Structure 1
Amino acid sequence: MALTAEERRARILDAVRELGTVRVVDLAERLGLAAVTVRRDIAALADNGLLHRSHGAVSLPRGAAAPAPTGRDRVIGMLVPTVGSYFDEIIDGARTAATAAGARLVLGIAPYGATEDRAQAEQLLESGVDGLLVTPNWTPEGPGGVGAWIGELPLPTVLVERRAPADSAGAGLDSVASDHRHGVILALRHLTGLGHGAVMLAARQDTWTAFQVRAGYAEGVRLLGLEPQPVIGIEHPGQDSEAVAERIAEGVAQGVRAVLVHNDQEAIQLVPILRARGLRVPEDVAMISYDDVFAALAAPPLTAVAPPKRAVGGAALELLLRRLDSGDAGLPVHHVELLPELKIRTSCGGVG
């Protein structure tokens, strides 16, 4: 015999009292009812002040007796600009931390250069997540075009590999990021120690990380007293290798025998092209790459700046869970920067 509306709604209330905050789809599955029926009953209960609805989830109204949510009740949405290479390790770090806490990670992707950040974030919200890890598609010039929505998200949010300027809409959000400027200075200091008085930079200009690498280069040249060099721009990643190699060859001809390349893919492509021009790595030009995703697989293996990618993902997930658990208890906003390492291999010389 089919349940009456009164019986269904009583069962819904009992389940929410037992579970606390629960996604509507999970509640429907638990009760063996159609999701559309459960949503209709929840709407009626909410209208009567007996339930509270929020982004695909349901809970008892504030002040009603309900069990406190734990890590095992959490569903975390993670928005990234790409999967593969760099962000694979960040996602893996977040997933490992979520698993350890008994939480579940749900992934969304808004590709570089697209304007889908907000729509993808809203889709994650509608799926019933409890909090968000977000890597916005901010341009190298800053967070232009992101808009106020980033600071108006209705759930606890942590920026990942991004930090909002103090005057932006996201300034009050928690963030966990690699200190890329520090990573670049590590590379420049190592090359200085090998006797180089000038270092070229060949860098992309289409990502937030690329902007930070360029800024770190300018700062490092000033701090270390290096002879400034024009930045060699990689305008079309994966397609500019011949032109970039020509610029590096010109620099070597002028006595500059070291280069930092952002990122691994670009550096690996440059090595054989330089060799075809009679320039060997590291004998004729010392090379360090930035990212350390594939650098160890190059021939020769590339010395590389290694941002703590997995640690960034893990720390962001753990910070978000702390934010969720603290509620309105006054946990201060955290802006966390983790320091990259320099992985010494053979491409810059000075090692056996």
Structure 2
Amino acid sequence: MSLAQHLRDRIAVGEWSRGERLPPEAALAATHAVGVNTVRRAMSLLVADGVVVRRQGSGTYVSTPPAARTPLIGVIVPSLSYYFPTVLKGIEEVAQTSGAILRITSSDYDDALEIRGIREHLAAGCDGLLITPTLHLTDPSARLDLLRSLPIPAVLVERMPQDSPPDDGLSAVCTDVVAGGYAAVRHLARRGRRRIGFLGRRDTATADAALRGYRRAIDDLALADLPHAVARRDAWDDAALADYARRAHAAGLDGIVCLGDREATALLPHLRGVGFSLPSDLALVAFDDEEAADAPLPLTAVSPPKREVGRLAAATLLRQLGRTGDRAPVRMLLQPSVRARASSAPAPTS
């Protein structure tokens, strides 16, 4: 046993490299002043521990660890056409660097498709799951419980569990949407806007968080509190947008935070229709930065760090799949930025 430990130590410090043949048993016996049978028993201990391997007629060699299995990662996102393609690029960059294989599906914001996607990824032998669950369209507690119970690690992407226990084992990597709503208001305030409204959706995963950021900024920056200038709907048609534009004009708004790009673009002609001149009378900040730059008036937009969210989510999952088995839960919130364009030029000074 003492000789086996001594040989193990010599291998550990690199005296013999992986795959290298050890000296013959007789030579080792002479070097250590022991019998050949003692060397053979020591070698048997090292063989049993996987430190060395015997090759018939050739000798004894330092073991070469088997090649690591290529991890197969399941990915489920709600859309392959809006917002998430950039997130997927970040995931793909990390997967390519690490040699992981991706199996990507879309839930199309359909709860049944999401459940089916989870089952298909498990059946395909995926080692881990990156998922943007439809928490705002289903019972979030039940869906999170399902993800916690999976036999493979899962990392949530752009969805943060709400009201979960402090010791929740789920990992999540997300944009800080509250910070985005706050940054949008601060951006407008720095450009001299003091009467700022909010137009948004109610049925999106980011709706409540963006509004919380907006309200926090209005309070912190001592701006006009205009509850009647805050409007949210499940969907915005032309009639609803025209009505909001009239209300904005009557309230004397000089700024609007709009969730998201498409609603902000659709609102532009209605604002002009009631007499606003943009951006001199009223500045506009959109949210998502997917289509904002292509609007008739290029829109300033809150721009989530989508690619970095994907990169960090993939890196987190791969770390949890690593040989160390480090599955310590991770919660990351990434700050979005505001990309200034023509729609938020500074207010004219009197």
Question: TM class, shorter-chain normalised?
Answer: 0.7 to 0.9
Residues 105, 229 of structure 1: CA spacing in aligned structure 2 closer, same or farther, 3 A cutoff? farther
Measure the CA separation in 2 of the matches of 1:310 and 1:214.
Answer: 24
3-state SS, counterpart of residue 208 of structure 1: coil
2:234: which partner in 1? 235
Once the two structures are TM-superposed, the CA of residue 202 in structure 1 deviates from its matched residue by: 0.5
Q: Which deviations, in whole Å up to 9, do the C-alpha atoms of 1:138-165 show, x marking residues without a partner?
A: 1189825525212111101110001113
Task: Give the structure-2-normalised TM-score.
Answer: 0.75
- Give every structure 1 segment of 4 or more consecutive aligned residues whose post-TM-superposition deviation is greater than 6 Å: none
1:341: which partner in 2? 337
1:296: which partner in 2? 293
Measure the CA separation in 2 of the matches of 1:283 and 1:291.
Answer: 23
* Structure 1 gap ranges (5+): 1-64
3-state SS, counterpart of residue 129 of structure 1: coil
Measure the CA separation in 1 of the matches of 2:84 and 2:220.
Answer: 31
Within a 5 Å distance, the mapping from 1:132-143 to structure 2 comes to 132-139=129-136, 143=140
The answer on whether the counterparts of 2:155 and 2:173 sit within 8 Å (CA) in structure 1 is yes
3-state SS, counterpart of residue 267 of structure 1: helix
Question: In the alignment, is residue 308 of structure 1 matched against residue 305 of structure 2?
Answer: yes
Measure the CA separation in 2 of the matches of 1:281 and 1:241.
Answer: 19
Q: Give the letter aligned to residue 267 of structure 2.
A: L
Residues 183, 351 of structure 1: CA spacing in aligned structure 2 closer, same or farther, 3 A cutoff? same
Residues 171, 133 of structure 1: CA spacing in aligned structure 2 closer, same or farther, 3 A cutoff? same
The answer on whether the counterparts of 2:255 and 2:284 sit within 8 Å (CA) in structure 1 is yes
Match of 1:167 among 146, 158, 164: 164
3-state SS, counterpart of residue 225 of structure 1: coil
Within a 5 Å distance, the mapping from 1:239-278 to structure 2 comes to 239-278=236-275
1:283: which partner in 2? 280
Task: Give the structure-1-normalised TM-score.
Answer: 0.74
Once the two structures are TM-superposed, the CA of residue 126 in structure 1 deviates from its matched residue by: 0.8
Q: Give the letter aligned to residue 88 of structure 2.
A: I
Measure the CA separation in 2 of the matches of 1:85 and 1:170.
Answer: 33
Match of 1:106 among 95, 103, 107: 103
3-state SS, counterpart of residue 333 of structure 2: strand
Measure the CA separation in 2 of the matches of 1:99 and 1:345.
Answer: 34
Measure the CA separation in 1 of the matches of 2:195 and 2:110.
Answer: 33
Once the two structures are TM-superposed, the CA of residue 293 in structure 1 deviates from its matched residue by: 0.8
RMSD: 2.5
Measure the CA separation in 1 of the matches of 2:202 and 2:138.
Answer: 9
Q: Give the letter aligned to residue 242 of structure 1.
A: A
- Work out which of the two has the higher radius of gyration on C-alpha atoms and give 1 or 2: 2
- Farther off after superposition, 301-310 or 103-112: 103-112
Residues matched between the structures, number: 283
Q: Give the letter aligned to residue 233 of structure 1.
A: R
Once the two structures are TM-superposed, the CA of residue 101 in structure 1 deviates from its matched residue by: 1.5
Amino-acid identity (%): 33
1:213: which partner in 2? 210
3-state SS, counterpart of residue 84 of structure 1: coil
3-state SS, counterpart of residue 287 of structure 1: strand
Q: Which deviations, in whole Å up to 9, do the C-alpha atoms of 1:113-152 show, x marking residues without a partner?
A: 5343222111111111111001110118982552521211
Q: Give the letter aligned to residue 180 of structure 1.
A: V
Measure the CA separation in 2 of the matches of 1:66 and 1:223.
Answer: 58
Residues 212, 142 of structure 1: CA spacing in aligned structure 2 closer, same or farther, 3 A cutoff? farther
Residues 136, 68 of structure 1: CA spacing in aligned structure 2 closer, same or farther, 3 A cutoff? same
Q: Give the letter aligned to residue 295 of structure 2.
A: A
Once the two structures are TM-superposed, the CA of residue 252 in structure 1 deviates from its matched residue by: 2.5
Q: Give the letter aligned to residue 344 of structure 2.
A: C
Q: Which deviations, in whole Å up to 9, do the C-alpha atoms of 1:9-35 show, x marking residues without a partner?
A: xxxxxxxxxxxxxxxxxxxxxxxxxxx
- Farther off after superposition, 149-158 or 210-219: 210-219
Residues 124, 229 of structure 1: CA spacing in aligned structure 2 closer, same or farther, 3 A cutoff? farther
